[in-house]
Structure 1
Amino acid sequence: MKKWGFLLIFIVLLSITVFDIGSFFRGEKDNEMIYQGNLLLVNSLYPVQAESIKSDIVNLYERKDLVKGYRLFDRSICLSEEIARKFSDMVLDAEKDGISGFLITSGFREFDEQAALFEEMGPDRALPAGYSEHNLGLSLDVGSIYGKMEVAPEGKWIEENAWKYGFILRYPKNKTDITGIMNEPWHIRYVGLPHSVIMKEKDFALEEYLEYLKTEKQISTTVNGQKYDILYDSSSKKVTMNAQDNLHYQVSGNNSDGIIYTILND
């Protein structure tokens, strides 16, 4: 009886997944990882680093295969290829709801382009070069052929549905005291699943969400039937970690002092 009891306890312990930052990931972690990924915070305190810029920036006018379900404001619109595909997938789903007037009015901007915009529009309507999310390649301004996003059906659809696809409204009207930016219903930012879902459920701006992860250290959630574990690590020293082969994960820095590991449990 004692043997069976011990065996049962052993099996239960094996079935419990306890993640340790120092043991689940294979590879070297160093400070550069703090400045890479989809969860980077860019604002007046945390500028874009050279290594933060997405490496797959493309001109969308020259990549017609990526322009599906939306239009382009002009021929100069650039964006991360990965984010363009995700945006296209989202707006193609919007067509099923009868919403089909989307266009991208602005995407990735080089620093000199941002500097010119800042000089032209001033600090009330633009950010200095290096302090705008548009310098990352993760953000885009979305418009509608039917009018301003504040009143257009495309704006309403984005507000109600973008979080399901990994996008967030980066500067909502109820968070201006947190973000320091006025309401921009046209500016969306990719953070990925499950982060956008958690932010929606808790009504978090990105600043609040990253602070929440820093405080909690580890959280779990289930999205679309898939379980995720999210771990925050503030260690700045380089460490070597060994991953479990059956885990799928993503790594992102926060652009200040930590790294977030998002683990999908199969």
Structure 2
Amino acid sequence: MKKWFLALILLLSAGYILTQGKSFTLDVPNETNPLLKGESVSITLNKNQIFQGDLLLVNKHYPVREQGVKSDVVTLAQHEELVRGYGLLDPSIQSSKSVMEPFLAMMDAAAQDGVNQFLINSGYRDAKRQNELYLEMGQEYALPAGYSEHNLGLSLDIGSAQEEMSRAPEGRWLQKHAWSHGFILRYPKDKSAVTGIQYEPWHFRYVGLPHSVIMKEKNLTLEEYLEYLKEHPTLSATVEGVEYQIQYYRVSGNMTIQVPAHQQVELSGNNSDGVIVTVRV
């Protein structure tokens, strides 16, 4: 027992964490740019990229830019391959195809745990629909057009066919496991002062791996995580044996950076002043 406890202490001190059976490590390297390992290629970052990607912050201070809206938004009911493991409250509901791929994997995982009464209540909303909702519900319950995450195509309002999400098995399962599939509970109960939005147990936002895992482990909202990246612009994370390198760049004009030549590289702006480069090693 003492040996096991000592081993656990050593793992934790090394940054190794076990959460819901998932392994995760996070390091803040001393290197100025850990992306420069092996053969590299040049890419150019520009101010337009600040307003595109899966990590965009949208709230009352940072509106959606036209280039930030996902280009692959579809009407889900018209794509049978995208409707599996959940129901649609309305056949007109839309979402991004690239968001639905990890969402379906998440639904499959939930079904394996016997949780399978999910409903999608809302997804992507265009400016017209958002404005209608704002006029119908008022500012206490809706945001004006251009200031809602639903205008991006990255968020889903998820319900349960059984009961209210805060009590339903579906809601409890998502709060425990959504992060491991790249999704976050966007408006947690204890973070209203940070997000400016009351607790919404149904509103989940796609940010991708490893960002969702880091946010979960550090108990950070998207607002807090983007500030964390500015304070720690170089991060290295390992999730389930997959290594990721993260680098934040403040972008004020065109700038050239080096990235690995044969690795998966994703770019996302923060909708404010910078671009996050994520490399899957």
2:231 aligned with 1:179, yes or no? Answer: no
User: SS where residue 201 of structure 2 aligns?
Assistant: coil
Q: How far off its partner does 1:253 sit?
A: 0.1
Which TM-score applies when normalising by structure 1?
Answer: 0.90
Q: 1:110: which partner in 2?
A: 126
Residue aligning to 1:230 = 246
Q: 1:33 to 1:144 in 2, by over 3 A?
A: same
Does 1:194 pair with 2:210? yes
Amino acid paired to 2:72: D
> Given residue 201 of structure 1, which amino acid in structure 2 is its aligned partner?
E
* More divergent stretch after superposition (107-116 vs 77-86): 77-86
**CA offset at residue 84 of structure 1?**
1.4
Equivalent residues of 2:45, 2:255 under 8 A apart: yes
Secondary structure in 2 aligned to 1:91? helix
Query: How big is each residue's C-alpha offset from its partner over 1:127-169, in whole Å with a ceiling of 9 and x where there is no partner?
Result: 0100000000000100000011011100000000000000000
TM-superposed deviation, 1:241: 3.5
Aligned match for 1:80, one of 55, 73, 96? 96
Local SS of the residue matching 2:176:
helix
Q: Select which of 101, 120, 123 maps to 2:117.
A: 101
Structure 2: 5+ residue runs without aligned partners?
A: 1-32
Pairwise CA RMSD: 1.5
**Which whole-Å CA distance do the structure 2 matches of 1:87 and 1:31 have between them?**
30
Matched, 1:45 2:61: yes
1:40 and 1:253 in contact (8 A); partners too? yes
Instruction: Report the counterpart of residue 148 of structure 2 in structure 1.
Output: 132
Q: How does 1:145-160 map to 2 (within 5 A)?
A: 145-160=161-176
Contact 1:24–1:241 (Cα < 8 Å) also in 2: no
Which segment drifts farther, 235-244 or 251-260? 235-244
**Cα distance, 1:65 vs structure 2:** 1.1
Q: For residue 247 of structure 1, report the CA deviation from its aligned partner.
A: 2.3
Residues 1:241 and 2:257 are matched in the alignment? yes
Paired residues of 1:56 and 1:81 also in contact (CA < 8 A): yes
Say which SS state the counterpart of residue 174 (structure 1) adopts. coil
Q: Match for residue 49 of structure 2?
A: 33
- The structure with the largest strand share of the pair is 2
Q: CA deviation at 1:25?
A: 5.2
SS in 2 for 1:200: helix
Q: Is the Cα contact below 8 Å between 2:69 and 2:153 reproduced in 1?
A: yes
- Aligned residue type for 1:263: V
Q: Which residue of 2 aligns with 1:3?
A: none
Aligned equivalents of 2:41, 2:92: Cα separation in 1? 40
Read off the aligned partner of 1:236 and give its amino acid letter: S
The 2-side partners of 1:164 and 1:245 are apart by 27
Identity %: 50
Q: What is the letter of the counterpart of residue 46 of structure 1? A: Y
Deviation beyond 6 Å, 4+ runs, structure 1: none
**Distance in 1, Cα, partners of 2:190 & 2:73:** 31
Tell me which residue corresponds to 1:262. Answer: 278
**Aligned-residue offset at 1:263:** 1.1
* Aligned counterparts of 1:58 and 1:85: Cα–Cα separation in 2: 13
Question: Distance between the aligned counterparts of 1:113 and 1:25, measured in 2?
Answer: 42
**Please, what TM-score do these two structures have when normalized by structure 2?**
0.85
Which protein is bigger by CA-based radius of gyration?
1
Distance 2:253 2:40 in 1: 17
Structure 1, residues 161-208: CA drift from partner, whole Å, max 9, x if none?
Answer: 000000000000010000000000000000000000000000000000
> Do the aligned partners of 1:251 and 1:259 also contact (CA within 8 Å) in 2?
yes
Deviation at 1:264, TM superposition (A): 1.3
CA distance in 2, matches of 1:74, 1:219: 41
Structure 1: how far apart are the matches of 2:201 and 2:72? 26
Match of 2:7 in 1: none
Q: Which amino acid aligns with 2:108?
A: L
